[in-house]
């Protein structure tokens, strides 16, 4: 969201609607009248810095969006955005490195809010190159190179989606999640729209289907075709607790786990050299 061109009232209204809250619900949470909240959203009243911070905190708005709203209201930003390479991020970097290493030989990777892959452990690198051999040179640890984007890799003709055996099951769930993210981070919208079009073309499905059965698996599993083998994984995510920096608040570390015994056995054999 461009703070220089987006009115404050648009930012606040979109952030509230993204959380599916009415003006009345939000006013009760923030502790102001619905009338005043409506006046702020319409541009008829200007919020104080304290009210704006409380407002965005209740909406659990991304830190970058909170800074943008503060700038739009004429206030100084509240959160820093130092890159991971900054010396102040040393402890955070150590934590990320430890998590990536401890998950070996299973895949783990770090992605930011725009789904750029910032770091991969050896297991993730092996999986990516096995599924998409053409990316081998792209995953080299070369400084100052634009990171690969997971959403771009999904819609690439020879990308991740082409290796998925259950794209029609996983795709709509991912798309619903991406649309929620894009409602708070509009810069994602073009990539989300591209994935929606790709998914509809490939599967004919573009929304989460109503479950045919009352009972479903406890976690969503993604199945990949890897040569003559099939690999099944589910994921867990790690984020920083109460981050006060935009860079850290945008990071997610995905840990992938074998979803069945066959995958666990095959993975152990194929990646023994990574341990």
The tokens describing 158, both together, are 């020879």
- What is residue 68's three-state secondary structure? helix
* For the chain, domain boundaries: 8-72, 87-274
Digitized pLDDT (tens) for each residue of the chain, 275 residues in all: 444 567 999 999 999 998 999 999 999 999 999 999 999 999 999 999 999 999 999 999 999 999 999 999 999 999 999 998 899 999 999 999 999 999 999 999 999 999 999 999 999 999 999 999 988 877 665 555 578 999 999 999 999 999 999 999 999 999 999 998 998 888 999 999 999 999 999 988 666 555 545 545 677 899 999 888 899 999 999 999 989 999 999 999 999 999 999 999 988 887 665 55
Predicted pLDDT of residue 120: 94
* CATH number for the segment(s) 8-72: 1.10.260.40
pLDDT at 15: 93
Count other C-beta atoms under 10 Å from residue 166's C-beta: 14
DSSP 254: E
Cα three-residue angle 37-39-40, rounded to 5 degrees: 65
Residue appearing with tokens 């703070």: 3
pLDDT at 186: 87
pLDDT at 164: 95
- 56: CB partners within 8 A, 6+ apart: 15, 65, 66, 69
Q: What's the confidence (pLDDT) of residue 1? A: 46
Please give the CATH architecture assigned to the domain spanning 87-274.
2-Layer Sandwich (3.30)
Q: Measure the CA–CA gap between 199 and 232, rounded to whole angstroms.
A: 20
Cis before 105 (ω within 30) = yes
Sheet with 108-111, side-by-side order of all strands: 117-120, 108-111, 252-258, 229-238, 222-226
The per-residue pLDDT for 53 is: 96
Q: Are 149 and 191 in contact (CB under 8 A)?
A: yes
């Amino acid at each position: 969201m461009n703070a220089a061109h987006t009115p404050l009232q648009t930012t606040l209204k979109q952030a509230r609607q993204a959380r599916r809250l009415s003006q009345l619900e939000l006013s009760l949470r923030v502790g102001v009248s619905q009338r005043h909240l409506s006046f702020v959203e319409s541009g008829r009243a200007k919020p104080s810095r304290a009210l704006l911070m409380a407002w965005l905190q209740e909406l659990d708005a991304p830190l970058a969006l909170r800074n943008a709203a503060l700038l739009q209201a004429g206030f100084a930003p509240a959160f820093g955005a130092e890159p991971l390479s900054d010396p102040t991020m040393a402890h955070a970097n150590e934590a990320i490195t430890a998590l990536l290493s401890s998950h070996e030989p299973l895949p783990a990777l770090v992605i930011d809010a725009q789904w750029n892959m910032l770091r991969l452990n050896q297991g993730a690198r092996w999986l990516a190159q096995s599924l998409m051999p053409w990316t081998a040179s792209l995953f080299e640890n070369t400084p100052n190179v634009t990171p690969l984007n997971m959403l771009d890799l999904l819609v690439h003709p020879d990308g991740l989606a082409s290796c998925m055996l259950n794209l029609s099951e996983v795709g709509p769930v991912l798309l619903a999640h991406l649309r929620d993210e894009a409602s708070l981070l509009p810069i994602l919208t073009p990539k989300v729209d591209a994935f929606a079009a790709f998914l509809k073309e490939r599967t004919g499905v573009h929304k989460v289907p109503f479950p045919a059965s009352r009972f479903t698996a406890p976690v969503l599993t993604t199945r990949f075709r890897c040569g003559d083998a099939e690999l099944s994984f589910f994921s867990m995510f790690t984020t920083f607790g109460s981050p006060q920096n935009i860079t850290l608040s945008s990071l997610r570390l995905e840990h992938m786990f074998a979803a069945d015994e066959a995958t666990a056995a095959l993975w152990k054999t194929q990646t023994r050299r990574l341990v």
